[in-house]
């Protein structure tokens, strides 16, 4: 609570200093001004990730507003939340505080509340300040303020929906973020727990320009300045987490280990996001990092080799990539991840690569290579048609025994159900990855594959996960229905 107050107050005090300088500078007109250089705003935008039960909403959306009106009563703020009832609730708390005898007698305010505009969603004062509360999808056009407060922009139940989550982010970019009085100095403050790898927190941090206060329930020193799920070494306000021991609790009195143990039982992913401010547990949610400790230095004879594809609809930055995983079954019964490829390609480029790789694998593994499995749906259907059109006449390679084996399938179940279905193979240590000391060229693709597996289903992208899971389901004989020209088929 002290850390939250320190950062919010620093942001607001810097804003006030900026306004005082602008007023003094404007008062001189074109004349010489002795007010010096403008003050530095240490942070114009503040992002706070803290566990539940730490009074984040009460401090930021209630007390900070009441405090600002004791210093700068003309200050205007718009408060938004994914849940309109939360926005209204905190508006009611703030109004009740400002109307209390304690507030009036302690701060001896010179302004009064406007009786014509005095409800929990919108109240104003005689100094022209106001506090407005909005649900995330409410119309905010024209309601500009000196500050935007964002409290939990995502509904936790809806954050896994790409459509809804991306809609929240699009609304921020297109309709909310610039609804301020002065883009040079107006303040934005956001508070939330992590709910997804591609949530609002990830989005604004990627854009840059945000001071980040991140306080996990259990201290994880390895995250200081890390490339992923980072905790800043020191914030713009000069604060750093005082804990030093791994696992040290934020508040062992209110949140002792016995209480946290009960919270962990409700789900590793939920605990990681809400309490540790990570969208996935450190060792993974469905797939665990320790399951992929097994590596191969030399490949045994392979009984079967196959590839599975997850194709993207369009080659755009915001979409998943097209991904391909090549896997082999050894005579020892282990599964070997042989090759992973991914990228944002148009259909002709995907088809060209598929054809070249298929002929290369056929030449390398001979009859052990069983072909390419592609989901016969949307972009996959387009790819299948394109490849067939460009290989049917390739008689020279067909005569050499290199006929392309392209297998269209209808994949069943949803993504998470498919992943849970193959996870036991990985847990049993049956899936081996290359030893990077002998296969350094595999480093980039193995890192990308494991990064998605360990954050799934909270990953920003899951194309590699899909292709990997398809490979395992093909081995288990549960990949889906193989389509035939007559519409029949059987399990693959």
What is residue 398's predicted lDDT score, i.e. its pLDDT?
42
Co-location of 93 and 23 in the same domain: yes
Q: Which of 246, 274, 302 is the last residue of a domain?
A: 274
In a domain, 279, yes or no: no
SS3 406: strand
Q: Is residue 487 part of a domain?
A: no
Higher pLDDT, 397 or 290: 290
**Is residue 162 within 8 Å of 173, Cβ to Cβ?**
no
Is residue 430 assigned to a domain?
Answer: yes
Confidence of residue 189 (pLDDT cuts 50, 70, 90): very high
Contacts of 74 (CB under 8 A, 6+ apart): 127, 128, 129
For 219-230, what is the mean pLDDT? 88
φ/ψ region of 403 (left if φ > 0, alpha if ψ in -120 to 50, else beta) reads beta
Q: Please, are residues 467 and 445 in contact by the beta-carbon 8 Å criterion? A: no
pLDDT in tens, 29-75: 665 666 778 899 999 999 999 999 999 999 999 999 999 999 999 99
pLDDT (0 to 100) of residue 327: 97
CATH label of the domain that carries residue 179: 3.40.50
Q: Which of 241, 274, 307 is the last residue of a domain?
A: 274
Model pLDDT, residue 488: 42
Measured distance CA(251)–CA(259) in Å, rounded: 11
Q: For the chain, how many structural domains are there in total?
A: 2
pLDDT confidence band for 236 (50 / 70 / 90): very high
pLDDT of amino acid 322: 92
- Tell whether 19 and 156 lie within a shared domain: yes
The answer on 87 and 211 residing in a single domain is yes
Does residue 396 lie within any of the structural domains? yes
Contact, 462 vs 286, CB < 8 A?
no
- The verdict on 224 and 329 lying in the same domain is no
Opening angle at CA 316, ends 310 and 318, nearest 5: 85
Which of the two residues, 392 and 166, has the higher pLDDT score?
A: 166
One domain, residues 253 and 366: no
In a domain, 282, yes or no: no
Tokens at residue 47, please?
């992002």
**What pLDDT, in 10s, does the model give residues 198-210?**
899 999 999 999 9
In a domain, residue 491? The reply is: no
Question: Same domain, yes or no, for 174 and 215?
Answer: yes
Best-predicted range by mean pLDDT (184-188, 405-409, 458-462): 184-188
Q: Residues 222, 309: one domain?
A: no
What is the predicted pLDDT for the residue at 489?
47
User: Using 50, 70 and 90 to split pLDDT, how confident is the model at 376?
Assistant: confident
**Domain match, 67 and 112 both:** yes
**Pairing of the two strands 113-119 and 122-125:** antiparallel
| pLDDT value for 117 | 87
Establish if 284 belongs to a structural domain: no
CATH number at residue 464: 3.30.420.240
Average pLDDT of the segment spanning 91-97: 96
Are 259 and 350 members of one domain? no
Higher pLDDT, 396 or 106: 106
Query: What pLDDT score does 486 carry?
Result: 38
Given a contact cutoff of 8 angstroms between Cβ atoms, the answer to whether 347 and 386 are in contact is yes
Same domain, 258 and 321: no
Closest CA to 310 of 457, 409, 387, 413: 409
Q: Which of 224, 239, 274 is the last residue of a domain?
A: 274
Q: Angle, to 10 degrees, between the axis of helix 64-71 and the axis of helix 84-99?
A: 40
- What does residue 396 show for φ and ψ, rounded to 5 degrees? -60, -50
- Helix (H) or strand (E) holding 131, with range, is strand 130-135
DSSP collapsed to 3 states, 286-346: CCCHHHHCCEECCCCCEEEEEEEEECCCCCCCCCCCEEEEEEEEECCCCEEEEEEEEECCC
Residue 393 pLDDT exceeds 60: no
What average pLDDT is seen over the chain?
A: 89
Q: Is the pLDDT of residue 259 over 70?
A: yes
Question: For the ranges 137-146, 376-385, 403-412, which has the lowest average pLDDT?
Answer: 403-412
d(CA 74, CA 89): 23
C-alpha atoms less than 13 angstroms from C-alpha of 38 in its C-beta half-sphere: 14
Find the mean pLDDT for residues 373-388.
85
Please check whether residue 49 lies inside any domain of the structure: yes
Residue 461 pLDDT greater than 70, yes or no: yes
Same domain, yes or no, for 263 and 319? no
Q: What is the pLDDT of residue 313?
A: 65
Cα separation, 363 vs 152, whole angstroms: 55
Q: In what order do the strands lie in the sheet with 147-151?
A: 113-119, 122-125, 130-135, 76-81, 147-151, 187-192, 45-49, 211-214
| Beta-ladder partners of 336 | 328, 432
d(CA 155, CA 177): 19
Q: Name the pTM for this structure.
A: 0.72
The boundaries of the domain holding residue 13 are 2-274
Do 110 and 230 belong to one domain?
Answer: yes
């Amino acid at each position: 609570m002290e850390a939250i107050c320190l950062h919010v107050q620093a942001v607001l005090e810097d804003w006030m200093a900026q306004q005082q300088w602008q007023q003094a500078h404007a008062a001189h007109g074109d004349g010489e001004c002795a007010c010096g250089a403008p003050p530095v705003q240490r942070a114009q935008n503040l992002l706070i990730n803290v566990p539940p039960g730490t009074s984040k909403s009460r401090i930021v959306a209630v007390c900070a507003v009441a405090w600002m009106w004791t210093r700068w009563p003309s200050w205007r703020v718009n408060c938004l939340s994914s849940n309109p009832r939360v926005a209204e609730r905190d508006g009611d708390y703030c109004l009740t505080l400002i109307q209390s005898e304690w507030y009036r007698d302690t701060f001896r305010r010179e302004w009064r509340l406007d009786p014509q505009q005095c409800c929990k969603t919108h109240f104003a004062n005689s100094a022209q300040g106001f506090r407005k509360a909005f649900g995330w999808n409410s119309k905010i056009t024209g309601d500009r303020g000196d500050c935007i407060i964002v409290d939990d922009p995502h509904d936790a139940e809806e954050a896994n929906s790409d459509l809804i989550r991306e809609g929240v982010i699009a609304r921020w970019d297109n309709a909310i973020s610039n609804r301020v009085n002065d883009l040079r100095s107006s303040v934005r403050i956001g508070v939330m727990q992590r709910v997804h790898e591609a949530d609002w927190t990830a989005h604004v941090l990627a854009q840059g320009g945000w001071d980040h206060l991140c306080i996990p329930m259990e201290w994880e020193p390895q995250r200081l300045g890390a490339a992923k799920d980072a905790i800043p070494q020191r914030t713009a306000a000069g604060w750093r987490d005082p804990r030093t021991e791994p696992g040290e609790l934020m508040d062992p009195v209110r949140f002792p280990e016995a209480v946290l143990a009960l919270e962990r039982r409700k789900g590793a992913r939920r605990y990681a996001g809400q309490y540790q401010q990570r969208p996935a547990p450190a060792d993974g949610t469905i797939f665990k990092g320790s399951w992929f400790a097994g590596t191969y230095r030399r490949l045994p004879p392979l009984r079967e080799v196959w590839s599975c594809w997850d194709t993207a609809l369009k080659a755009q930055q915001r979409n998943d990539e097209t991904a391909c995983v090549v896997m082999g079954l050894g005579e020892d019964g282990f599964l070997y991840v042989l090759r992973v490829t991914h990228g944002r390609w148009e259909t002709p480029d995907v088809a060209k690569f598929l054809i070249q790789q298929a002929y290369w694998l056929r030449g390398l593994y001979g009859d052990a290579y069983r072909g390419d499995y592609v989901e016969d749906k949307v972009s996959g259907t387009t790819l299948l048609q394109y490849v067939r059109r460009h290989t049917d006449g390739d008689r020279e390679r067909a005569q050499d025994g290199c006929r392309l084996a392209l297998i269209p399938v209808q994949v069943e179940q949803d993504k998470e159900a498919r992943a849970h279905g193959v996870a036991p193979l990985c847990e049993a240590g049956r899936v081996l990855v290359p030893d990077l000391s002998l296969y350094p060229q595999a480093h980039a693709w193995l890192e990308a594959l494991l990064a998605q597996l360990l954050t799934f289903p909270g990953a920003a992208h899951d194309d590699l996960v899909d292709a990997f899971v398809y490979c395992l389901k093909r081995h288990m004989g549960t990949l889906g229905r193989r389509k035939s020209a007559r519409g029949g088929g059987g399990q693959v």
